[in-house]
């Protein structure tokens, strides 16, 4: 009998303990943590001066000129034209076009000594066989729309010869693609050739031949001119 009484007492104590657990207050909620402020966006470099951008705006007006500039920037970035990977230099194609058009950026300007036409003096053979179009169609385009074909042309040369990492190699992609990677002393237009007479303005030392360095010297001078006040943007 005593054993039964003790067992009942233990059972009542267990029930009381369990009921006490049910009535215990809920645990305190976790403290609220204020999230840190959102990080500031990374600092971006200001736009670099663009050679000949001011000239383009002067020729075509603020709206069209800006469209042209934006497309040239896109072209340089997309084709990764610049001194190092991921360092596009849109001043380079601007300089090539300034030189090829006599600073006019005209999509219809023509070389009197050849079929060369437009922003990078597209040749008839190139238009038909490389770009699958015609010089007549290229002449019908606005300057900003003709840039689509400048892009296609440079894209094709890069696919053939590799990335453009020097302004001289980029100019060779337009003038003489076979010499894109050659030494600056390479003769690109030998004496007496038809190509020499078509490009004799590049013969700076008047020796009857044109080297890659001579052609490049004109381009470096054109780049410097394009970065002067009034021409730069």
pLDDT in tens, the chain (233 residues): 554 455 445 545 544 444 544 444 444 444 444 444 444 444 455 668 999 999 999 999 999 999 999 999 999 999 999 999 999 999 999 999 999 999 999 999 999 888 999 999 999 999 999 999 999 999 999 999 999 999 999 999 999 999 999 999 999 999 889 999 888 889 998 998 988 888 888 888 899 999 999 989 989 999 999 999 999 98
Which CATH topology does 53-226 take? Lysozyme (1.10.530)
Q: What's the pLDDT score for residue 12?
A: 56
pLDDT score at 25: 44
Three-state SS for the chain is CHHHHHHHHHHHHHHHHHHHHHHCCCCCCCCCCCCCCCCCCCCCCCCCCCCCHHHHHHHHHHHHHHHHHHHHHHHHHHCCCCCCCCCCCCHHHHHHHHHHCCCCCCCCCECCCCCCECCCCECHHHHHHCCCCCHHHHHHCCHHHHHHHHHHHHHHHHHHHCCCCCHHHHHHHHHCHHHCCCCCCCEEECCCCHHHHHCHHHCCCCCCCEEHHHHHHHHHHHHHHHCCCCCCC
């Amino acid at each position: 009998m005593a054993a039964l009484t003790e067992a009942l007492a233990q059972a009542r104590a267990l029930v009381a303990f369990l009921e006490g657990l049910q009535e215990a207050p809920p645990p305190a909620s976790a403290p609220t943590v204020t999230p840190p402020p959102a990080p500031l966006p990374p600092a971006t470099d200001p736009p670099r001066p663009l050679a000949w951008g001011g000239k383009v705006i002067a020729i075509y007006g603020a709206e069209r000129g800006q469209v042209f500039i934006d497309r040239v920037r896109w072209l340089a970035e997309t084709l990764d034209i610049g001194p190092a990977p991921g360092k596009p230099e849109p001043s380079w194609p601007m300089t090539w076009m300034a030189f090829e058009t006599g600073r006019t950026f005209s999509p219809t300007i023509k070389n009197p000594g050849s079929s060369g036409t437009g922003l990078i003096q597209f040749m008839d053979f190139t238009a038909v066989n490389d770009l699958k179009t015609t010089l007549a169609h290229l002449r019908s385009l606005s300057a900003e729309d003709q840039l689509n074909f400048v892009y296609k042309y440079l894209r094709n040369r890069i696919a053939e010869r590799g990335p453009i990492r020097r302004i001289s190699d980029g100019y060779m992609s337009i003038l003489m693609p076979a010499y894109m990677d050659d030494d600056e002393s390479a003769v690109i237009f030998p004496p007496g050739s038809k190509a020499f007479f078509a490009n004799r303005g590049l013969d700076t030392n008047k020796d009857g031949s044109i080297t890659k360095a001579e052609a490049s010297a004109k381009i470096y001078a054109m780049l410097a001119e394009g970065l002067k006040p009034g021409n730069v943007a």
